Each structure stands twice: as C-alpha cells, then as structure tokens.
C-alpha cells in the first residue's frame, strides 16, 4: 500500500526515531537527516508521548544529542495532559508516573494527593511503579469514581539501557478493568487529539503529512486513519516488521525502513514518498 501525493510536512516520534531510547543516543544518520530537514524550511514538529522529562528538559536533552529544537516544535503529552486536567478543574492528582515529574506538576498548578482526596488518577511512565501503587488507586477509581487519565497507552517502553519495561498502557488496562464511574481518558498517541494539535502546528493537510515512528500500533495506526502518510522505522521498539501481523492490512504503514536516514526528504516542491537512494 502506498498512498499517492506529495509530502510537505513531517511529524516525528522521538524515541526510536531520532534517539534510540532513554539514553538519548542518536540513531545513526538521524542528526544529519534532522539538520537537512531543518534547513529545508519544511514544517515539522516532534510528537511525543514522553513522560519522563519535563518539556524543557526534553528539548535540552535533544539539543545536546544533536537535535536543536525549540519548544514550539514539541507537541507533548505533559503539556496536553496539564491543559486537559486544568480545563476539567482537576488539580489534586494521584500521580502514578515518574516521581521526578512531581515538581513539574506543582509548577503547572497541580498538587499531589492520595486516593482519598484526589480528583484524578494520572498515569505516565514509572520504572518503579509497584502493584501496591495500583492497589492504592483502586479506592479512588472504584469508590469515588474519579477520572483515570493515562498520558499515553504505550504497553511498553525502552529504558536507558534499552530494556523493555511495562508502560502506562498496561497499567491503565489493569485499572480500567476494575470498573468505576469516572472517565477513562488517553491524552497522547494513539488518541486523536495530539495528532490534531500537531497538524495545527505544521499547518498542512493530513494527506500532505508524513508521520514517522518506531511504533506502528501506538503511533501510526491513528496517523494513517486520519489520512497521513506513515513510515515505520526499525531503529527502536521493533527490529523487524513482525508486529504488523497484529494489525489489519488497512492499517499497515506506507513505508517500512531501517532508520530515519533511509527516508527521502521532500524537495522544495514536494516529492512522492520514497526511500533515499
Ligand atoms: Mg517511539
């Protein structure tokens, strides 16, 4: 399957595409590819489910890794999650994500709370999350019916040593299974809102946009259903395309390649989607 037309803008996942994992080591060839994209003047932005680094920390880490990026080029789940929670009037949070983000939530106008007083249970990546932490949330979800807000639904992620770790998608599925009267909300990919925000940033039609990710299930299915072109790179979560066997053929990516540097950058007038020579 290959959707026709030209590519005029780029939406990029970060981990597994620009950098390998939480080590922020660049994928070979990605620094040069990114520099050429920036020099081309093509609209682009990064669309990230990152919940381990505050947005300014993330852009600083990427810049030091060789990807100079301004804050307005980052569409991230922490900012979108904060906006969602504050719009709902939810300031007291049972935060089950990474403890290092607690200060960021405080600066964003939220405060930590326990299951008895929280207004939302919020999930993000947390390498030290224990079953007891999930147990502690049960009262809030089941008895008080507070919202369960998952910053993303990735089932697993790669830590700084490249090791697979269960992620918020797995924890959210566990808590959602117990029931409760509150809403179950997903902020980041694969929910559509973050894609719409990214499209606003680049200002092109979805059909003119190429979404590049190492995660076809969590990132590219929605992109494709919204009409974007999609590229699956094998430099992150999946070393081969076997994962596509889990997907309907209609949801397969338009392009599968080893890494970002294999993707041809559109010329000034745009070009059909293809791999670099
Ligand atoms: Mg990724």
Between the CA of 220 and the centroid of ligand 1 the distance, in Å, is 10
Give the pLDDT score at 272: 53
Between the CA of 202 and the centroid of ligand 1 the distance, in Å, is 20
Sheet holding 92-95, edge to edge: 111-112, 92-95, 120-123, 147-150, 184-186
Asked if 109 and 91 count as a contact pair (C-beta separation under 8 A), the reply is yes
Give the pLDDT score at 140: 95
| Residue 152 neighbours by CB under 8 Å, 6+ apart | 49, 51, 77, 124, 167, 168, 169, 186, 187, 188, 189, 218
Between the CA of 180 and the centroid of ligand 1 the distance, in Å, is 31
Give the pLDDT score at 179: 84
What domains, with CATH codes, occur in the chain? Answer: 9-49+190-262 (3.40.50.1000), 89-186 (3.40.50.1000)
Between the CA of 114 and the centroid of ligand 1 the distance, in Å, is 31
Query: Using one digit for the tens of pLDDT, what is the confidence trace for 213-259?
Result: 999 999 999 999 999 999 999 999 999 999 999 999 999 999 999 99
Give the pLDDT score at 268: 44
Give the pLDDT score at 41: 92
CA separation for the pair 105, 102 (Å, rounded): 5
| Residue the block writes with tokens 């995660």 | 215
Strand duo 164-166 + 156-158: pairing: antiparallel
The 3-state DSSP class for residue 72 equals helix
Between the CA of 145 and the centroid of ligand 1 the distance, in Å, is 32
Assess whether the previous peptide bond of 190 is cis (omega < 30° from 0).
Answer: yes
Between the CA of 164 and the centroid of ligand 1 the distance, in Å, is 12
Q: What percent helix, strand, coil does the chain show, rounded to 5?
A: 35, 20, 45
Give the pLDDT score at 6: 86
Between the CA of 17 and the centroid of ligand 1 the distance, in Å, is 6
| Residue the block writes with tokens 């502690």 | 136
Between the CA of 155 and the centroid of ligand 1 the distance, in Å, is 12
Start-to-end CA distance of the chain, whole Å, equals: 20
Between the CA of 253 and the centroid of ligand 1 the distance, in Å, is 15
Q: How buried is 137 (Cβ within 10 angstroms: 0-12 exposed, 13-18 middle, 19+ buried)? A: buried
DSSP conformation letters of 86-133: HHTT--EEEE-S-GGGHHHHHHTT-EE--TTT-SEEEE---TT--HHH
Could you tell me which of 239, 218, 267 has the C-alpha nearest to residue 27?
A: 239
pLDDT in tens, the chain (277 residues): 467 678 999 999 999 999 998 889 999 999 999 999 999 999 999 999 999 999 999 999 999 999 999 999 999 999 999 999 999 999 999 999 999 999 999 999 999 999 999 999 999 999 999 999 999 999 999 999 999 999 999 888 888 888 999 999 999 999 989 888 899 999 999 999 999 999 999 999 999 999 999 999 999 999 999 999 999 999 999 999 999 999 999 999 999 999 999 999 875 444 556 666 5
Between the CA of 46 and the centroid of ligand 1 the distance, in Å, is 11
């Amino acid at each position: 399957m290959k959707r026709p037309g030209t590519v005029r803008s780029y939406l990029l996942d970060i981990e597994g595409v620009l950098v390998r994992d939480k080590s922020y080591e660049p994928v070979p060839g990605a620094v040069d590819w990114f520099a050429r994209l920036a020099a081309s003047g093509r609209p682009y932005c990064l669309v990230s489910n990152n919940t381990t680094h505050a947005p300014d920390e993330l852009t600083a880490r990427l810049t030091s890794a060789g990807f100079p990026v301004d804050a307005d080029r980052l569409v991230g789940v922490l900012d979108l999650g904060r906006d969602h929670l504050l719009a709902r009037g939810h300031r007291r949070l049972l935060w089950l994500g990474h403890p290092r983000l607690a200060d960021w939530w405080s600066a964003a106008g939220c405060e930590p709370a326990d299951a008895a007083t929280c207004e939302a249970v919020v999930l993000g990546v947390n390498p030290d999350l224990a079953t007891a932490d999930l147990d502690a949330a049960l009262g809030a979800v089941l008895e008080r019916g507070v919202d369960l807000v998952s910053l993303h639904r990735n089932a697993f992620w790669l830590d700084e040593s490249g090791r697979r770790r269960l992620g918020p998608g797995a924890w959210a599925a566990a808590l959602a299974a117990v029931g409760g009267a509150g809403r179950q909300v997903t902020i980041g990919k694969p929910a559509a809102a973050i894609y719409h925000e990214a499209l606003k940033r680049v200002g092109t039609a979805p059909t003119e946009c190429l979404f590049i990710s190492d995660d076809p299930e969590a990132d590219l299915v929605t992109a494709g259903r919204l009409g974007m072109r999609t590229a699956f790179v094998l430099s992150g979560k999946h070393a081969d395309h076997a994962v596509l066997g889990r997907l309907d053929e209609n949801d397969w990516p338009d392009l599968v390649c080893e890494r970002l540097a294999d993707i041809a950058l559109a010329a000034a007038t745009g070009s059909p989607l293809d791999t670099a020579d």
